[in-house]
Amino acid sequence: MADHHPSKADGARVLADLNALRAFGAYKTGVHRPTFSEPHLRSLEWLMRKLPEAGLVAEIDGIGNVLGSSAKAGPKLLAGSHLESQNFAGWLDGPLGVAYALEAARVINPDPGIPGAVEVAAWCDEEGHFGHFLGSRSYVGDVTERDIDSARDRTDNRMMRAALQAAGLADRRRVTAERGRHVGYLEAHIEQGRTLEGSRRAIGVVTSIVGIWQYQITATGEQNHAGTTRMKDRKDAGLALARLCVAIDDRFPARSGPRTVWTTGRISLDPGAPSIIPGRAEMLFQIRDDNPEVVERLEALLREIAAEIAAASRCEVEVKRIRTGRPAKMDDRFQRAIEDAASIFAEGKSVSMPSGAGHDAQVLATIMPAGMLFVPSIGGISHHWDENTDDADIVRGAEVFVEACRRLLAN
């Protein structure tokens, strides 16, 4: 088959779409568009109005996913991202991937020279205001009615049922994937880190999305009077966890992988008064990596360190895993399509890299081949209203994305 002319995204149109979306919930230089807020619903309506321009039939479903489906013959590629934002955050995290998917559909779907069509999705609540990836997980059949019953907004405690009701979505069906319909799922996103900027690359080809392992670590000592208990007699649970944090940072690097990251979240001391030695202390701890073997190694080390600190602090230290990571491998053919497209539209300035952040693509990857491409984030800043990407990088990313879609449909 003769190769079709490369498909060209209209960069000005993509920038105009992104700026239109930016107006919904504009806050400083970013947006405040939490899930099911009024600006979020208006952004979904905007997309519903745009999808027919790409020959797509638009539907919003019972969990707030917007889907555009095509009646064109031939293979279908699913593409998208999300439109809600973190609270008081950036304008590109999510919308970039939706705008690219819309552009790919507008270029490819009316072209009789390209077989098949791009179908567009905006997954609801990727940012986790009500849960974890509720929209994309609903689409792959991984959300029950009970999950929705118990979901609440983490900021204002509003029940998800009430939010769906207020949005007029409560009586709609939830759309789930029609197995075998799609050749796969492609998502674009800002990198939200500094790898691309630091290496002067225009396109990141995502190899895998890291898994997240979470631990609850509890130290139990002896609660006592802070004035009368001599230092040598204390069993200070808070001190034990503080020592643990330092020991982790000292000893993890020797056994971690090249991209392993770890973070201590909330630390709470009980009772937490300066006049009382804490008898109990608890911390949340997280490890991210794309290789479960590395995390197994680190978890063993974590338990070893905890045992040593328990002995040294005369406290009990318990390590409990409360979440097991499931890294998602991106499909080889999708990675190649992005690289090939980057060789045409980005002078080959692409680099393979894992994603340290979670994305809907990891959920879609459980039922179909999936791929992701990144564009640079200025200063690596995201989840903040300063988040930004050069217009030239946005346009180049759109061109690479559209061409990658064409290639995935062509063979």
Tell me the closest approach of the beta carbon of residue 86 to Zn ion, in angstroms: 9
> Does residue 135 touch Zn ion according to CB under 5 A?
no
User: What number of chain residues touch Zn ion (CB under 5 A)?
Assistant: 2
CB of 82 to Zn ion, least distance (A): 6
List binders of Zn ion among 44-83 (CB under 5 A): none
Instruction: Quote the least distance from Cβ 126 to Zn ion, whole Å.
Output: 5
103 lies in the binding site for Zn ion (CB under 5 A): no
Please tell me the distance from the alpha carbon of residue 188 to that of residue 361, in angstroms, as a whole number.
Answer: 9
Place of tokens 């905007």: 46
Residue 123 beta carbon to Zn ion: minimum distance, rounded to whole angstroms:
10
Cβ contact 262:184 at 8 Å: no
Least separation, in Å, of the C-beta of 113 and Zn ion?
Answer: 33
Q: Supply 282's token pair.
A: 């608890």
Q: Does 236 bind Zn ion (CB under 5 A)?
A: no
Closer by beta carbon to Zn ion, 94 or else 354: 94
Burial of residue 320 (CB within 10 Å: 0-12, 13-18, 19+) is: exposed
Q: Are strands 276-277 and 224-225 parallel, antiparallel or unpaired?
A: antiparallel
Q: Which of residues 196-215 bind Zn ion (CB under 5 A)?
A: none
Q: Which is nearer to Zn ion, 241 or 372 (CB)?
A: 372
Collapsed DSSP state (helix, strand, coil) of residue 197: helix
Residue closer to Zn ion by CB (options 68, 95) is 95
Sign of CA dihedral 86, 91, 96, 99: positive
Report the nearest approach of Zn ion to the CB of residue 250 (Å). Answer: 33
| Chain centroid to CA 111 | 32
Buried b (16+ CB within 10 A) or exposed e, 236-254: bbbbbbbbbeebbeeebee
Query: What's at 397, amino acid-wise?
Result: G
Residue 90 binds Zn ion, judged by CB under 5 A: no
Residue 23: how many other CB atoms lie within 10 Å: 13
Among 30, 94, 325, 358, binds Zn ion (CB under 5 A): 94
Cβ closest to Zn ion, residue 94 vs residue 327: 94
Residues 6+ apart with CB under 8 A from 398: 9, 11, 14, 99, 100, 103
Q: Map residue 167 onto helix, strand or coil.
A: coil
Per CB under 5 A, 95 contacts Zn ion: no
Smallest separation (angstroms) from Zn ion to the CB of 53: 24
Asked whether position 30 contacts Zn ion by CB under 5 A, the answer is no
Query: Distance between CA atoms of 253 and 256, rounded to whole angstroms?
Result: 5
CA angle 176, 90, 207 (to 5 degrees): 55
CB of 408 vs Zn ion, minimal distance in Å: 21
Q: Which two tokens stand for residue 214?
A: 């979470």
Please choose, out of 88-96, 217-225, 236-244, 285-293, the segment that lies near Zn ion by the rule CB under 5 A.
88-96
193 binds Zn ion (CB under 5 A): no
For residue 271, cis peptide bond before it (omega within 30 degrees of 0): yes
Strands 370-375 and 182-190: parallel
Contacts to Zn ion from residues 387-406, by CB under 5 A: none
Nearer to Zn ion, 93 or 339 (CB): 93
Q: By C-beta, is 21 or 302 nearer to Zn ion?
A: 21
Question: Looking at 91-99, 197-205, 230-238, 332-340, which segment touches Zn ion (CB under 5 A)?
Answer: 91-99
As given in the structure block, the two tokens for residue 171 are 């009586």
| Secondary structure tally for the chain: helices H, strands E | 12, 17
Nearer to Zn ion, 317 or 357 (CB): 357
Tell me the closest approach of the beta carbon of residue 265 to Zn ion, in angstroms: 20
Of 8-16, 87-95, 234-242, 269-277: span binding Zn ion (CB under 5 A) = 87-95
Q: Which of 93, 282, 331, 399 binds Zn ion (CB under 5 A)?
A: 93
Residues near Zn ion (CB under 5 A): 93-94
